[in-house]
Amino acid sequence: MEAKSLLASSTALDARSKLLRQQIVKVLKFSRRGHVGAAFSLVEILRVLYDDILRFDPHNPRDVKRDRCILSKGHGCLALYTILSQKGFFPESELWKFCAPDGMLGGHPEHKIPGVEASTGSLGHGLSLGVGMALNGRYEKSDHRIFVIIGDGESNEGSVWEAALCAGKHKLDKLTVIVDYNKQQSYATTMEVQDMEPFADKWQAFGFAVQEIDGHDVDALRNALKGIPFHTGKPNALICHTVKGKGVSYVENNLNWHHKNKITNEEIESLLKELA
C-alpha cells in the first residue's frame, strides 16, 4: 500500500468531535504544552468507547463489573481527560490545572485519577496489564471486557508482543487491543522509523482476530466495537487508521506537533478557529 494512501483520511468531523478537540485546545490554553497530535488522533476512538461501548459508573470508578479501558499510549491523555471529565469522573476544573503543580492531571495518566485504569506513559506496558486483568476476569467468570489502546510507535516495543503472545495463548476474547495507527512516530513516519507492515498480519499471527477501519469514522468504530468478540476464542485487534493531529489542517501529519511546548495565544486562537 502506498504511504500516501496510508496517511489519508478524508472523514469529516461532526460537531461532537470538533467540540472534544476544542476542549483539548482549551486545556492547552492553560498548560501551554501537550502531545496535541497524539490526542487528536484518538478522539473518535475514545468518544465511541465512552459514549457507546464501555460499561462504567463515574460515581463508582472501581466497580468490579465495569469494562476496563487502559490508555497504554499514555501521551494521548489529553483526549482521555476531556472525555473522563465530560462523563463525570472528575470536575472540569481539573482540566485547567493540567500539568500544574497542584493539578491532578499530568502529562501522562496515573492510576490515582478516577477513571484511569493504569499509570502509563512508558510505552509498551498497558497490554500486559490488560492481559492480567483479562485473566482475572476469566477467573472471576465475569463478562466485563478489557480494552487496551496502543500506538503504532508503541508497537515497536518488544513487551507489546510478549503480551500479545500471552493473550493469544490464553484465547482472551474479552480483551481488545485498539491500535491508533496514525503512521507517525516522534522522529518521522512509521514507515521510516520502523515500518510495522504487514501490521494486521502480525496480530493475526499472534492469534488475534483482526479488523481494520477508518479510526475517525464514528459509525465504523461503533459497529466494530459492538461486534466484539470478532471471533470466539481469540483476542481482538482493531487497527484504526487515523491521522495524527486530525481536525486541524496544519497539525495533521506534522511532526512538529507531536509534542508542543510554549503554545502561544495566537496558536490557540488559530486552532480554535480551525475547529469552529
Partner 1 sequence: MRKTCLDQVYELAKNDPRIFFVGSDLGYETLKQFKSEMPDRFFMEGVSEANLIGISAGLGLEGKIVYANTIATFLSRRCFEQIVLDMALHHVNVRLIANGGGLVYAPLGPTHLAIDDLAILRAVPNMTIVAPCDAQEMKRLMPLTVDYQGPMYIRMAKCGDPIVSSDHIPFKIGKAMALREGKDALIVTTGITLGLALKAAVILGKEGVETAILHMPTIKPLDHEMLLDYVRQTSVIVTIEEHSVIGGLGSAVAETILEANFDTIKNFKRIGIPDVFASSYGTQEDLMRLYGITADNLCAVVKQLRDSKVKVVV
Shortest separation between residue 218's beta carbon and partner 1, angstroms: 30
Q: Does 128 bind partner 1 (CB under 8 A)?
A: yes
* CA angle (70 as vertex; 65, 127 as ends), nearest 5: 110
Q: How far apart are CA 70 and CA 206, in angstroms?
A: 20
Rule CB under 8 A: choose which of 117, 152, 217, 252 binds partner 1: 117
Rule CB under 8 A: choose which of 3, 60, 100, 122 binds partner 1: 122
Q: How far apart are CA 135 and CA 72, in angstroms?
A: 18
Q: Does 104 bind partner 1 (CB under 8 A)?
A: no
- What does each C-alpha distance from 196 to 132, 150, 187 come to in angstroms? 25, 13, 15
Rule CB under 8 A: choose which of 42, 131, 179, 271 binds partner 1: 131
Mark the segment that binds partner 1 (CB under 8 A) among 6-14, 88-96, 133-141, 234-242. 133-141
Residues 238-267 that bind partner 1 (CB under 8 A): none
Q: How far apart are CA 219 and CA 273, in angstroms?
A: 26
- What does each C-alpha distance from 60 to 106, 109, 174, 184 come to in angstroms? 22, 19, 22, 36
Q: Does 130 bind partner 1 (CB under 8 A)?
A: yes
Shortest separation between residue 132's beta carbon and partner 1, angstroms: 2
Of 34, 28, 37, 12, the C-alpha closest to 245 is 37
Shortest separation between residue 254's beta carbon and partner 1, angstroms: 30
128 vs 155, which CB is nearer to partner 1?
128
Q: Does 79 bind partner 1 (CB under 8 A)?
A: no
* CA angle (126 as vertex; 224, 68 as ends), nearest 5: 55
Shortest separation between residue 22's beta carbon and partner 1, angstroms: 32
- What does each C-alpha distance from 100 to 43, 103, 242, 276 come to in angstroms? 23, 5, 30, 27
162 vs 274, which CB is nearer to partner 1?
162
Q: Does 60 bind partner 1 (CB under 8 A)?
A: no
Rule CB under 8 A: choose which of 105, 163, 209, 228 binds partner 1: 163
| Interacting residue ranges for partner 1, rule: CB under 8 A | 111, 117-119, 122, 124-125, 127-137, 139-140, 158-159, 162-163, 165-166, 169
